[in-house]
Structure 1
């Protein structure tokens, strides 16, 4: 997701070079597009996309200091509020 955010910002800056009147996207706008905007595009914004009470919690916990910067950075994964990686058995 962070790579997609970076690419969107870079593309927005490139568009500004081509058209000086183009208004570049802000980090806040791109972050919204990557979260709530994505859920709106899939018509899931009533269930996910932000931290409103009652919405599903889908998230990953990333170790920013892990080497190589790929899926090895992912420490935990939550789907609908339940931790699925590392796997934890139900009690």
Structure 2
């Protein structure tokens, strides 16, 4: 479980304990399974988001490499065209 979700779960648990002490466990009986399901789903979303962040970073690195390669090839093509033009003029 992610630290953020674990922190939320801990805070919610403390609040439920306070409510149970003050009123009775029936107050949170029906709410508890809903909150547990919600926290589990939230944790799944955090995990998926973390995976997407890693994938995004890899894609950014790939993109940077492709841009660098493109710029290098563009410069080489320009140089080759200039050289070709010079050869044609020299003939």
TM-score by length of 1: 0.39
Higher relative contact order (CA 8 A, sep 6+): 2
Q: Which has the higher helix share?
A: 2
Q: Which of structures 1 and 2 has the bigger CA Rg?
A: 2
